[in-house]
Amino acid sequence: MRRPLVRDDLRSMEGYHSPQVDVEVRLNTNEAPFPPPDEFQEAFINEVTKVDWNRYPDRLAQSLREDLAALHQVQPEQVFVANGSNEVLQTICLTFGGHGRTALTFEPTYAMYGQIARTTQCRVAQVQRDEAFRVSLDVLERGIETENPALMFLCSPNNPTGTPESSAVIEAALALSSAAVVVDEAYGQFADFTALDMFGSHDASESLIVTRTFSKTWSMAGVRLGYCIAPSWMMDEFQKVVLPYHLDSVKQIAGQVALRFQDQMEKRVTQIAGERKRVSESLTLMELDVWPSQANFILFRTTPCDLSGNEVWKRLLDRSVLVRNCSTWPGLDDCLRVTLGTEQENTIFLEALKEVLQ
């Protein structure tokens, strides 16, 4: 009996992997360091008892979309929700990409842009960020002119570098191209700037898409819930490619209940930002190359200490501290990315790193 043939374009691809290792301090996946508030769990359990388990969920997640629209001061018709922001990205690629169309990425950046684009049969064109990991206007203009993309991905703040995009770059992307311009703000609550503020402008009214997730600041990575704000005309197009009833009733409830705790979320953002400053200053004092971050993680390079990133990563793992090893990624030689954890976790990481470097 012969096996069925996998698609030709998938044979050379690899899946997306992030090491899951049993360690005392796990700081490699940009998760929130705290669970949701106790009040969230109580309210969530109370709401779940009302689920009609024998009925399909609300196909359009109308109540959740209305709550998100109120949060961001847009119309419910501008909100699309899905199983994590990755399904939002997949839906966008299925809608605007496909065979014969190009997705433009700015490297180094979140690997799933290229991964999802390729699995939806887009051609992926990559252009490089500058030494500060910013997207320059010149590079943006050349990329648009040369590649004529159908969609482009701008990550703000960028993963794994922590650098935000400028409003000038996003405005130029909208003005110079007819592409769907995706601004991924998975870490947007930690940043000084959000592209959501641009929805009042004419240039953004037809082609800007801003994605968000509940995984980070809302402490709900285990739920897998994400959404985007986009022009209302796109919603009917998204419904053509997304599976029916793709968002279950329990997930919709979890999102609605979480939104009741906006104040607690904002306090946690402030707390993590304070830890970001402390950890960044400590890394700088260790004479490492450290990039300014507006996310819940920090990228640093080990080269000034005459140790490879891979070696430092292994020595930290030996001490039961797991960070993300980016040292083999293009443009990120000897770079590691540390997620900001609790104050105690961050202190353990810093002490272990100091010991490793000595």
Same domain, 253 and 282: no
CA neighbours within 13 Å on the CB side: how many for 293?
32
Report the distance separating Cα 249 and Cα 247, nearest Å.
7
Query: Is 256 among the domain residues?
Result: yes
Residue range(s) defining the domain that contains residue 127: 49-261
257 plus 295 within the same structural domain: no
| Residue whose C-alpha is closest to residue 65's, from 54, 55, 53, 75 | 75
Same domain, 295 and 228: no
Q: How long is the chain?
A: 358
Give pLDDT, residue 319: 97
* 270 shares a domain with 252: no
In a domain, 129, yes or no: yes
Which of 217, 235, 261 represents a domain boundary (last residue)? Answer: 261
Phi and psi at residue 187, in whole multiples of 5°?
Answer: -115, 20
Q: Is residue 184 assigned to a domain?
A: yes
Same domain, 68 and 120: yes
Sheet holding 321-325, edge to edge: 25-27, 321-325, 335-339, 297-301, 289-290
Q: State the 10-residue block means of pLDDT for the chain, 358 residues long.
A: 84 71 92 94 96 97 98 96 98 97 98 96 96 95 97 98 95 95 97 92 78 94 97 96 97 98 94 97 97 97 92 97 94 96 98 96
User: Residue 151's closest CA among 103, 206, 221, 201?
Assistant: 103
313 and 193 in a common domain: no
Task: Say yes or no: 315 and 184 in one domain.
Answer: no
Closest alpha carbon to 297 in 112, 131, 189, 162: 162
CATH for 338: 3.90.1150.10
**Sheet-wide strand order for 226-229:** 79-82, 226-229, 208-213, 180-184, 151-155, 102-107, 123-128
Q: What is the pTM of this model?
A: 0.94
Residue 317, Cβ density class (10 Å: 0-12 exposed, 13-18 middle, ≥19 buried)? middle
Joined together, the tokens standing for residue 179 give: 């592409």
In a domain, 285, yes or no: yes
Q: What is the mean pLDDT of the chain?
A: 94
Residues 170 and 270 in one domain: no
Q: Is residue 175 part of a domain?
A: yes
The residue among 193, 120, 118 whose CA lies nearest residue 154 is: 193
Looking at the fold, whether 227 and 117 belong to one and the same domain comes out as: yes
Of 261, 284, 300, the domain-final residue: 261
Please report, for the domain that includes residue 218, its CATH number. Answer: 3.40.640.10
Type of residue numbered 90? Q
pLDDT digits (tens, 9 = 90+) for 278-312: 999 999 999 999 999 999 999 999 988 889 999 99
What pLDDT, in 10s, does the model give residues 183-205?
999 999 999 999 999 987 655 56
Contacts with 192 (C-beta within 8 Å, 6 or more apart), sequence order: 164, 294
Strands 321-325 and 297-301: unpaired
| Same-domain status, 66 and 26 | no
pLDDT score recorded for residue 5: 84
Based on the fold, state whether residues 247 and 323 are members of the same structural domain: no
The continuous run of DSSP H or E covering 280 comes out as: helix 262-285
Out of 246, 261, 276, pick the residue that ends a domain.
261
